[in-house]
Amino acid sequence: MTIFLEEDDIFGNAKVHFVEREDLEYLSFILRNGMVTAKNLSSMNALHKVGVYLGTIKARKLTNVNVTVPNKATIYTMQHELLITDLIHELQSEKQAVDLFRTKREIRFSMLGEGDNQSKLKAYNDNRDRIPDAVFFLKELMGTSTTWVVLELNKKDHKRYDYKIKMFDDMLSDGRRDHQLYSYDQVIFFANDVKIHNAINQAKQRLINARKITVRNMDMPE
């Protein structure tokens, strides 16, 4: 199906775009995830063979998807977002499937609210530690588990882990707070460095919700 989109150019003249509904679905998928590969798009029966695709502000205007869009992407951000996208779709294919998920860009958009760039930047800096890399709604035997996901590529210092793990412990005890979108049942770190595993496991010792904070390996794409 073809959709007709109309907008004004810089001179006030109407311009009409012809966009296939499937293209809007692909754009929405890219915007939600931030950055995807042709392999990720192939799961949607797209015909793209190679390349990495990044969502833009213009794409957001076309789709009305509620996500944040960065002005630029660093190598670290690209690697992180591509791995999160792979992780989501890897878990969706497993027995313990992701029933639904929310990406960091969707969560960040909801938490920052409306306003000018300065006020949104302040809101982000005030809450950046409380924005997960993703939220997974995992299918469990007793129902759906709302899971805060952290993808850890580089080891932080021990003080940083002590702070974050204590924050998670308080969050799991208190339920949903005013600045949180969800009440979380568990926190899962994904990391392939044994030093990260050791640091996280050491930081959560003797905490009330230690069993609800776990660290797992993830398969890196070839």
Condensed to tens digits (0 to 9), the pLDDT of residues 1-53 reads: 333 343 444 333 444 444 567 778 888 888 898 888 888 877 666 655 667 88
Separation of alpha carbons 103 and 101, rounded Å: 7
Condensed to tens digits (0 to 9), the pLDDT of residues 70-91 reads: 777 788 888 899 999 888 877 7
More confident residue, 135 or 61: 135
pTM: 0.82
Q: Is a pLDDT exceeding 60 seen at residue 181?
A: yes
Q: What is the percentage of the chain residues whose pLDDT exceeds 70?
A: 79
| Most confident option among 15-24, 95-104, 135-144, 188-197 | 188-197
Contacts of 88 (CB under 8 A, 6+ apart): 33, 98, 101, 103, 134, 136
In three state form, how does the secondary structure of the chain look?
Answer: CEEEEEEECCCCCEEEEEEEHHHHHHHHHHHHHCEEEHHHHHCCCCCCCCCEEECCHHHHHHHCCCCCCCCCCCHHHHHHHHHHHHHHHHHHCCCCCEEEEEEHHHHHHHHHCCCCHHHHHHHHHHHHHHCCCEEEEEEECCEEEEEEEEECCCCCCHHHHHHHHHHHHHHHHHCCCCCCCCCCCEEEEECCCHHHHHHHHHHCCCCCCHHHEEEECCCCCC
Separation of alpha carbons 8 and 25, rounded Å: 23
Separation of alpha carbons 176 and 130, rounded Å: 12
Residue showing tokens 């938490």: 111
Q: Is a pLDDT exceeding 90 seen at residue 127?
A: no
Q: What is the mean pLDDT of the chain?
A: 80
Q: Is a pLDDT exceeding 60 seen at residue 58?
A: yes
